[in-house]
């Protein structure tokens, strides 16, 4: 209630200045319009003539009266013998001409019987003219004085320096910790500070103090902003929410003014929570070597000062979110400002299952749906990816005329999110279909021949909208957090097997392996520079990941000579893997040809069909029912390779 009353009071306080401004502008516009119309009417009723024309009208008896002024002669046309009634009638048009030195004019007019009148200074007209000139200037001066007085009070011109934070309360957000899944550790950390706000005496007895701030760090889409809104729903205290970019304007000093105003409002509403999303927009490290943005640095300095200045006993908590913690200023990250760093990382298997359940609770699903299988298949996916997959599955079910979502709809949704929709209008030539087919079967055969590779779930040569002409899907048997050196070397062989199949069968290569080569090079370089899996360099770190939560780009920390040697070592690993891929495919050429022909005919084959043909060719007995059931686990992993149509 207090918050609503304060908002109403602010609205009422703002109505006065707004009304004054509107009335002032309306008065100025009215005066200018009146003056314009008056001048327009006067100009339309008067006509200028030459002095010769005036004398000719006098001689011809067409002038009734003349008014001689200081700078002009006003001529009233008419016959000199008009009756009195007509004489009182003012004609629609009058004439005027300039003053000419003519001493005989007055006598000439009197001789012609024309009424002659001199000009008497009009004091009322003079005052009216002065008022018309000065009143707009006076109103403009009053308007500017009012605006500058508001700026002096710290609110800024037209509210430029005033904080525009959105204030949430429990009923408005509609999100609580129950709506956040897969981030149990982050929820636990934030639940503690919420409980601190609710029960401060319980912590004060033991001498604990409320943390000043908590920094939410993690990749995009993991739910940092959702967690902050859940805090708003749980806290039952005012929740001020702003983005980092809201502090930055084109005027220097506006951001700092907004920071001051934000903390001033927060102190009035304490206990409360302040949330700054994407804080890296104003919190980047200050570096004098390359100069700096004075507006951004002033805003950051003001934020640092305010975070040091407020009293935690009043119950003010600052939350901030970023996916680039490495660029933040060290002074911002130190204890006493942000006492806690809450990691909101990609969810594990259990977390993905919980996230899928949260997003699927309002979606009708049949008995075939297995969310555990989808969670296992989507290793590395974040909450926004999983939510998108559930929504795509529901859309797909409606598109096919079904009232409930099936497991097949979820499969297709995973493919849509990862590699895009099928491009049904793209028709490849028979030769291209053969090349793509052999390329994909080359990948799949390595998965079947190498024990450290993931089993094949699906092979297709149907083009997709994200540029894939074909791809192979693999089944992760379990979620893994580590990879052995053997597994990484097997990945290299598998990535390069598509190019190897092209060279073996067609005695040429295509552009289709560009993405495979890129991924293989990335793995090989990481093995040499980060994982210490190179015999030549051994246990030495030559690269450091700079942007862990975004691009994951690594930078080299070595001399040019060492970097050249690193390139040679990477090329050696890739060459060995390529030769290994050609060796395996050459030894299994019969399986390569038969499976490729089957794929050309069917366009898409399952992992079960692939393994059946492979066993028949190799003379391997069929698996038992239990093993077969395990192999039919319908899951789909993150796509390991895709061919780019360059």
Domain 349-418 has CATH 3.50.50.60: no
pLDDT above 70: residue 263? yes
Note the pTM of the prediction, 2 decimals: 0.67
For residue 146, the model assigns a pLDDT of: 67
Q: Of the ranges 42-46, 154-158, 292-296, 382-386, which is most confident? A: 382-386
Confidence band of 645 (pLDDT split at 50, 70, 90) = very low
SS (H, E, C) 504-570: HHHCCCCHHHHHHHHHHHHHHHHHHHCCCCCCCCCCCCCEEECCCCCCCCEEECCCHHHHHHHHHHH
DSSP labels, 26-51: HHHHHHHHHHHHHHHHHHHHEEE--H
Q: What is the dihedral of CA 73, 77, 78, 81, to 10 degrees?
A: 10
Q: At what angle do helices 349-360 and 383-399 cross, to 10 degrees?
A: 40
Q: What share of the chain is helix, strand, coil (3-state, %, to 5)?
A: 55, 10, 30
CATH number among 3.40.1190.20, 3.30.720.210, 3.40.50.300, 3.30.56.10, domain 49-120: 3.30.720.210
Residue whose C-alpha is closest to residue 385's, from 550, 175, 220, 187: 220
641 an active-site residue?
A: no
pLDDT in tens, 115-166: 888 776 655 555 566 666 666 677 777 776 766 665 544 444 444 445 555 5
Q: Are strands 316-322 and 213-217 parallel, antiparallel or unpaired?
A: parallel
Confidence band of 6 (pLDDT split at 50, 70, 90) = very low
Tell me the C-alpha distance between 581 and 504, whole Å.
10
CATH number of the 430-631 domain: 1.20.58.760
For residue 34, the model assigns a pLDDT of: 64
Helices marked H in 381-530: 383-399, 407-419, 430-449, 485-506, 514-529
Which has the minimum average pLDDT: 16-25, 75-84, 161-170, 313-322?
A: 161-170
Q: Which fold has domain 166-343?
A: Rossmann fold (3.40.50)
Which has the minimum average pLDDT: 80-84, 116-120, 212-216, 617-621?
A: 80-84
Tell me the C-alpha distance between 87 and 91, whole Å.
9
Catalytic residue among 440, 569, 641, 642: 440
Residue whose C-alpha is closest to residue 339's, from 237, 241, 193: 193
Phi, psi for residue 209 in degrees, rounded to 5: -115, 150
pLDDT in tens, 453-497: 888 888 999 888 777 888 888 877 777 788 899 999 999 999 999
Q: Of the ranges 294-303, 316-325, 519-528, which is most confident? A: 519-528
Confidence band of 179 (pLDDT split at 50, 70, 90) = confident
Tell me the C-alpha distance between 634 and 171, whole Å.
42
pLDDT above 60: residue 549? yes
Give me the residue spans of the domains in the chain: 49-120, 166-343, 349-418, 430-631
């Amino acid at each position: 209630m207090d918050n609503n009353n304060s908002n109403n009071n602010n609205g009422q306080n703002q109505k006065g200045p707004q009304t004054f401004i509107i009335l002032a502008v309306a008065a100025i516009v009215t005066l200018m319009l009146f003056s314009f119309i008056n001048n327009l009417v006067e100009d339309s009723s008067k006509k200028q003539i030459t002095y010769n024309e005036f004398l000719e009208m006098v001689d011809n008896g067409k002038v009734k009266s003349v008014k001689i002024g200081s700078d002009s002669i006003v001529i009233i046309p008419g016959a000199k013998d008009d009756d009195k009634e007509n004489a009182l009638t003012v004609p629609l048009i009058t004439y005027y001409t300039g003053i000419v030195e003519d001493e005989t004019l007055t006598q000439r007019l009197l001789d012609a019987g024309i009424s002659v009148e001199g000009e008497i200074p009009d004091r009322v007209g003079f005052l009216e003219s002065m008022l018309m000139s000065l009143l707009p200037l006076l109103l403009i001066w009053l308007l500017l004085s009012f605006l500058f007085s508001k700026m002096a009070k710290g609110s800024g011109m037209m509210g430029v320096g005033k904080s525009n934070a959105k204030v949430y309360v429990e009923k408005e957000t509609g999100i609580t910790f129950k709506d956040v899944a897969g981030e149990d550790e982050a929820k636990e950390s934030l639940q503690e500070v919420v409980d601190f706000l609710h029960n401060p005496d319980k912590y004060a007895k033991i001498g604990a103090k409320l943390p000043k701030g908590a920094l939410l760090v993690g990749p995009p889409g993991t739910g940092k902003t959702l967690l902050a809104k859940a805090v708003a729903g749980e806290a039952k205290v005012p929740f001020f929410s702003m983005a980092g970019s809201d502090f930055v304007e084109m005027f220097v000093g506006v951001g700092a003014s907004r920071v001051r105003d934000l903390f001033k409002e927060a102190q009035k509403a304490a206990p409360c929570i302040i949330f700054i999303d994407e804080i890296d927009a104003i919190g980047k490290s200050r570096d004098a070597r390359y100069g700096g943005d004075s507006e951004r640095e002033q805003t950051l300095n003001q934020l640092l000062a305010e975070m040091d200045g407020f009293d935690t006993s009043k119950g003010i908590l600052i939350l901030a979110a970023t996916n680039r913690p490495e660029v933040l200023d060290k002074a911002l990250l130190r204890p006493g400002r942000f006492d806690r760093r809450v990691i909101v990382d990609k969810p594990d298997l259990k977390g993905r299952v919980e996230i899928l359940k949260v997003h699927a609770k309002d979606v009708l699903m049949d008995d075939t749906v297995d969310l555990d299988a989808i969670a296992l298949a989507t290793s590395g996916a974040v909450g926004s990816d999983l939510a998108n997959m559930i929504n795509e599955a529901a859309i797909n079910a409606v598109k096919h005329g079904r009232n409930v979502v099936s497991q097949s709809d979820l499969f297709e949704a995973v493919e849509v999110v990862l590699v895009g929709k099928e491009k049904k209008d793209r028709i490849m030539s028979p030769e291209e279909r053969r090349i793509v087919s052999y390329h994909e079967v080359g990948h799949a055969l390595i998965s079947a021949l190498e024990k450290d590779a993931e089993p094949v779930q699906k092979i297709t040569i149907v083009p997709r909208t994200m540029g894939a002409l074909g791809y192979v899907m693999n089944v992760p048997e379990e979620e893994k957090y580590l990879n052995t050196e053997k597994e990484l070397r097997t990945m290299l062989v598998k990535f390069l097997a598509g190019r190897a199949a092209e060279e073996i069968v067609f005695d040429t290569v295509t552009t289709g392996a560009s993405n495979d080569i890129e991924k293989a090079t990335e793995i090989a370089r990481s093995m040499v520079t980060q994982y210490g899996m190179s015999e030549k360099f051994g246990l030495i770190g030559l690269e450091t990941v700079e942007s862990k939560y975004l691009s994951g780009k690594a930078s080299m920390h070595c001399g040019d000579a060492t970097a050249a040697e690193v390139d040679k070592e990477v090329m050696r690993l890739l060459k060995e893997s390529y030769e290994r891929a050609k060796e395996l495919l050459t030894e299994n050429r019969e399986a390569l040809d038969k499976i490729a022909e089957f794929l050309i005919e069917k366009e898409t084959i399952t992992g079960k069909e692939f393994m059946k043909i492979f066993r028949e060719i190799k003379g391997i007995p069929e698996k038992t029912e239990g093993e077969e059931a395990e192999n039919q686990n319908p899951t789909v992993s993150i796509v390991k390779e895709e061919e780019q149509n360059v």
